[in-house]
């Protein structure tokens, strides 16, 4: 059965046994305190598991017996750990509540179905009994997508799909695979690798997020330039709904009216539960070449990305950090290391080449056959040189590639020291991107400054271009700030609102790949419009007449 939930942190990110790399690094804490203009970072530990208090289970004995008959008694779990683990996702707001021991949204039980028929039976039962159902894949949502909101319902169950993790079929002739939706990223790629193919979808949550979650939240992996977003590699799905099964077929293209699969991508579990998906796969790449470049400023780096996309260069990824992100990670990486002669010579060389504090690092990835990867790399080298970049070689790129799933592990120890860390992302056309970047940065900096616990304290705001297109790109912001311990939630909501208001006012989308969930719901109507929401509500009413699926997400009340 998928991933053993007891081996994952119930109130933080990742494996419970993962080593805290910051536990004995007082040099890092002193540096971070200085960056935030704080005299010291205080210990702010989370509440222990033994201190937890759960609301009583609202299900009747008859309800429990009915669920037992559908999926088997051993697959209906109501112990403290299961309920606590499935209460919320992994957004900053979620973690504030979990760390405080707030389990008021805990489901009554967690159900682990083992196939589409069992999911259909659970949904039919829940609709008959007026029980809310929260679909759960990896639980990695960072926008409140799996929080146990019950809405108008008094009872709630979580349907955890992790037992549904089979590779059902590989069609090597067509280049497709049919897979159960509960499979996590590593298990999926391992299964595909044995057949010589890959999906190539690697979001930062890759270790724990699932195929169904990627579809439901319209995900975009780090290599989307080559492998595409969820809507690009998805062919068809089986969607279990309270009214029955919706199967969308597996034709590569169709002109038989609007395609129903397009309604399912990004639907966040409010229309139904994705149980199986047929996806496009590619041969395993012979080459995975990741390397670094240094641009003199953010503008020249963005111009190079825009040119590469316009020239149709076969990149897998182009990830451009702004000056603050470049400086932050360079300083962080150099802590505890001696300033060797080589480092001094490197700094001198960069100064002579007129690379100053505005310098921005870019990681480029090239995957595929040897000839394709080599040609793409040479083409991008030429574009980078045209825009004044310095090639850094493969060491920088490989270092990023080997550690790309580790960054989320830094958030929990930072929160243990009174430091808040959150992210947000957006996208816009190239003509709007510069203004959007500046406005969102300014909004974050101002809101943090007004919400910090000390008058002279400050935050750190950094950004990178994460995904790129011929007509625009995505901006991914990370912000770090001293927590206001007696008003954590208000502080975060103030910062979040200021940034999102700035995004909307300057032509950006509220989310490029994180989704809506609870956190972005207040801005959903502005982006979709009244008529657009009416269309989505009509779909919801057709598939889920009683509204039991994932209350409080995607669609405003």
pLDDT of 73: 97
| 498-548 per-position pLDDT tens digit | 999 999 999 999 999 999 999 999 999 999 999 999 999 999 999 999 999
Is it the case that residue 97 has pLDDT exceeding 70? yes
pLDDT band per the 50, 70, 90 thresholds, residue 344: low
Please report which residue ranges of 275-321 form alpha helices under DSSP H.
298-310
Is the Cβ–Cβ distance between 124 and 99 less than 8 Å?
A: no
Burial (CB < 10 A; 0-12, 13-18, 19+), residue 186, is: middle
Is it the case that residue 346 has pLDDT exceeding 70? no
Is the Cβ–Cβ distance between 496 and 518 less than 8 Å?
A: no
pLDDT of 23: 85
* Residue 367 β-bridge partners: 288
| 10-54 per-position pLDDT tens digit | 999 999 999 898 888 999 999 999 999 998 888 899 999 999 999
What is the average pLDDT across 329-352?
A: 67
pLDDT of 261: 96
Least confident window among 38-42, 122-126, 134-138, 484-488: 38-42
Is it the case that residue 337 has pLDDT exceeding 90? no
pLDDT band per the 50, 70, 90 thresholds, residue 357: confident
Is it the case that residue 379 has pLDDT exceeding 60? yes
Is it the case that residue 345 has pLDDT exceeding 60? no
pLDDT of 331: 85
What is the average pLDDT across 406-417?
A: 95
Is it the case that residue 1 has pLDDT exceeding 70? no
pLDDT of 66: 98
The model carries a pTM of: 0.95
pLDDT of 160: 98
Q: H/E/C letters for each residue in 473-524? A: EEEEEEEEEECCCCCHHHHHHHHHHHHHHHHHHCCCCCCCCCCCCCCCHHHH
Share of the chain above pLDDT 70, in %: 96
What is the average pLDDT across 88-92?
A: 98
Share of the chain above pLDDT 90, in %: 90
Q: How far apart, in Å, do the first and last CA atoms of the chain sit?
A: 36
Burial (CB < 10 A; 0-12, 13-18, 19+), residue 546, is: middle
pLDDT band per the 50, 70, 90 thresholds, residue 352: low
Mean pLDDT computed over every residue of the chain? 95
pLDDT band per the 50, 70, 90 thresholds, residue 333: confident
What is the average pLDDT across 413-421?
A: 96
- Beta strands 390-393 and 472-482, pairing class: unpaired
Is the Cβ–Cβ distance between 46 and 98 less than 8 Å?
A: yes
The residue count for the chain: 557
pLDDT of 351: 66
Is it the case that residue 396 has pLDDT exceeding 70? yes
Cα–Cα distance measured from residue 414 to residue 416, given in angstroms and rounded to the nearest whole number: 5
Q: Please name each of the domains of the chain with its CATH number.
A: 8-14+43-160 (3.30.43.10), 167-283 (3.30.465.10), 287-404 (3.40.462.40)
| 465-492 per-position pLDDT tens digit | 999 999 999 999 999 999 999 999 999 9
pLDDT of 338: 62
Q: Which of 430, 433, 356, 366 is nearest to 390 (CA)?
A: 356
Please report which residue ranges of 153-228 form alpha helices under DSSP H.
185-193, 211-216, 224-227
Could you tell me which residues come within 8 angstroms of residue 156 by beta carbon, excluding any fewer than 6 positions away? 58, 107, 108, 131, 132, 133, 134, 148, 150
Cα–Cα distance measured from residue 39 to residue 46, given in angstroms and rounded to the nearest whole number: 22
Is it the case that residue 110 has pLDDT exceeding 80? yes
Is the Cβ–Cβ distance between 428 and 472 less than 8 Å?
A: yes
What is the average pLDDT across 80-89?
A: 98
Half-sphere exposure of 542 (CA within 13 A, CB side): 10
Cα–Cα distance measured from residue 509 to residue 523, given in angstroms and rounded to the nearest whole number: 10
Question: What stretch of H or E contains 246?
Answer: strand 244-247
Cα–Cα distance measured from residue 400 to residue 290, given in angstroms and rounded to the nearest whole number: 8
């Amino acid at each position: 059965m998928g991933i053993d939930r007891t081996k994952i942190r119930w109130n933080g990110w990742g494996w419970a046994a993962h080593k805290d790399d910051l536990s004995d690094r007082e040099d890092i804490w002193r540096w971070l305190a200085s960056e935030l203009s704080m005299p010291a970072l205080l210990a702010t530990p989370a509440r222990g598991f033994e201190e937890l208090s759960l609301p009583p289970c609202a299900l009747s004995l008859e309800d429990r017996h009915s669920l037992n008959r559908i999926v088997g008694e051993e697959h209906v779990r109501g112990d403290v750990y299961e309920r606590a683990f499935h209460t919320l996702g992994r957004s900053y707001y979620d973690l504030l509540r979990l760390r405080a021991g707030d389990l008021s949204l805990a489901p009554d039980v967690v159900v682990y179905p083992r196939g589409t028929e069992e999911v259909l039976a659970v949904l039919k039962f829940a609709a008959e009994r007026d029980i809310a159902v929260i679909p759960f894949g990896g639980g990695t949502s960072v926008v409140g997508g799996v929080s146990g909101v019950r809405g108008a319902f008094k009872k709630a169950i979580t349907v955890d799909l992790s037992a549904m993790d089979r590779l059902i079929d590989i069609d090597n002739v067509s280049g497709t695979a049919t897979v159960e939706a509960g499979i996590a990223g590593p298990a999926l790629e391992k299964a595909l690798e044995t057949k010589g193919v890959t999906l190539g979808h690697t979001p930062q949550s890759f270790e724990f997020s699932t195929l169904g979650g990627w579809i439901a939240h319209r995900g975009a992996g780090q290599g989307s330039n080559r492998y595409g977003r969820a809507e690009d590699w998805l062919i068809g799905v089986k969607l279990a709904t309270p009214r029955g099964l919706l199967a969308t077929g597996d034709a590569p293209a169709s002109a038989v009216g609007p395609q129903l699969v397009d309604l399912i991508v990004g639907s966040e579990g409010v229309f139904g539960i994705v149980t199986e998906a047929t996806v496009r796969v590619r041969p395993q790449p012979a080459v995975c070449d990741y390397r670094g470049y240094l641009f003199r400023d953010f503008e020249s780096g963005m111009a190079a990305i825009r040119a590469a996309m316009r020239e149709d260069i076969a990149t897998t990824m182009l990830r451009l950090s702004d000056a603050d992100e470049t400086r932050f990670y360079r300083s962080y990486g150099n802590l505890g290391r001696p300033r060797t002669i080589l480092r001094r010579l490197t700094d001198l060389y960069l100064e002579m080449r007129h690379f100053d504090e505005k310098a921005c690092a870019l990681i480029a990835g090239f995957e595929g056959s040897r000839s394709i990867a080599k040609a793409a790399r040479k083409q991008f080298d030429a574009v980078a040189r045209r825009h004044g970049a310095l090639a850094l070689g493969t060491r920088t790129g490989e270092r990023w590639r080997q550690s790309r799933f580790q960054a989320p592990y830094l958030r929990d120890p930072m929160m243990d020291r009174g430091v808040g860390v959150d992210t947000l992302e957006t996208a816009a056309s190239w003509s709007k991107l510069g203004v959007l970047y500046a406005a969102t940065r300014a909004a974050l900096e101002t809101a943090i400054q007004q919400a910090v616990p000390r008058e002279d304290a400050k935050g750190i705001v950094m950004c990178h271009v994460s995904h790129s297109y011929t007509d625009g790109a995505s901006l991914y912001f990370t912000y770090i700030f001293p927590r206001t311990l007696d008003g954590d939630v208000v502080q975060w909501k103030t910062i979040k609102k200021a940034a999102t208001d700035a995004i909307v006012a300057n032509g950006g989308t509220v989310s490029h790949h994180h989704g809506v969930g609870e956190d972005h719901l207040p801005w959903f109507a502005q982006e979709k419009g009244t008529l657009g929401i009416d269309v989505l509500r009509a779909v919801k009413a057709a598939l889920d007449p009683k509204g039991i699926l994932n209350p409080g997400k995607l669609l405003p009340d």
